Amino acid sequence: MSEDTQHEEEASRGILILICSVLAVLLLSLSSSFVYGAEVGCIEVYDGKSIDEAAASQLRPAGFRPVAGMCKRAYIRGTITRGDYEKVRALYRASHPLLSVFALASEGGSVAEAMQIGNLFRNYLISANAPNRINDEPGFLTGTVDKPVCVGPECVCASACALIWFGAVDRFGVIGLHRPRIDDPDFKGMPPADAAKLYRQVLDQMERYLAGMEAPRPLIDAMLETASSSIRWIKYDRDGLSRPPSYAEWADASCGSVSDTEFSRGADLSIRKYVNNQTLTNSDELFLAKFVEHGRCNLCLRFGAVERMPLP
């Protein structure tokens, strides 16, 4: 081997090592400025009050019954960094199979951690609530009546947070999508061809994950078309993303289907009757009764399946 050839091979190995190291850094954090982990906590704790055994046996026929102190609803708030998956996993393990809903409020962070959390959500049929936005203006995310998870400009679920959201089987709220941004200095100093190769690897991993979570191809393309300096807001009902197709068909096979229009009507009637104490017409009462029964069937199906799953 000539000396020039040896130098070329060493240079190629050096570039490959650099690409791998930068890729690892990127997947751990989309921005080098992210230093603090997300806050992971419980919104609603089970108070230990007695429950109706007939209803409980329908929801969880294998015999699980919650004990006081277990978490029913939780949240993830803030920048997602290395170690946050373990926080979420530990909280879920402590309250499995009762914990079934997470509220998400994060502007982004680690792609790798987000995808791990998203896979946990999918495996255990967890729901995810993202903040609402009204006319594309910052909104809110409900926690308890007197203490919301977030309010105002930073109340968003975007970038890596959206990856978590796509892991859920029931999704609500608005998420923000854009291409990933690489702030690592080594990336900036790469030759264009090497930088393109690295960036393509990052995109490939994100595309595979989103495809595995059954995100529609047009939506994945929309993410790729949106610059990292911009953002595209996606609404769960407007864009048909409330449930992944495979889960929706599995649940509907047992409980029947409800159109988006019917769901909106049922939700509106529920608020009118149970929150605002309004009197409904006979036809509305009949529709609401069917809507409630459909929801009960879905909960029984979902909770019964999760009850039989081992701890993560």
3-state secondary structure of 207: helix
Domain ranges of the chain: 27-242, 246-307
Whether 23 shows a pLDDT value over 50: the answer reads: no
Mean pLDDT value across residues 43-69: 90
Query: What's the N-to-C CA distance of the chain in angstroms?
Result: 52
**Largest interatomic CA distance in the chain:** 90
Residue 6: per-residue pLDDT? 44
Whether 312 shows a pLDDT value over 90: the answer reads: yes
Residue 131: per-residue pLDDT? 92
Neighbours of 287 (CB within 10 A): 16
Residue 19: per-residue pLDDT? 42
- The C-alpha atoms of residue 122 and residue 2 are separated, in whole angstroms, by 54
The proportion of the chain whose per-residue pLDDT surpasses 70, expressed as a percent, equals 86
Mean pLDDT value across residues 113-119: 97
Q: Where does the pLDDT of residue 202 fall: very low under 50, low under 70, confident under 90, or very high at 90 and above?
A: confident
Residue 189: per-residue pLDDT? 87
Cβ–Cβ under 8 Å, residues 84 and 76: yes
**Would you identify the CATH topology of the domain 27-242?**
2-enoyl-CoA Hydratase; Chain A, domain 1 (3.90.226)
Whether 135 shows a pLDDT value over 70: the answer reads: no
* 282 against 29, higher pLDDT: 282
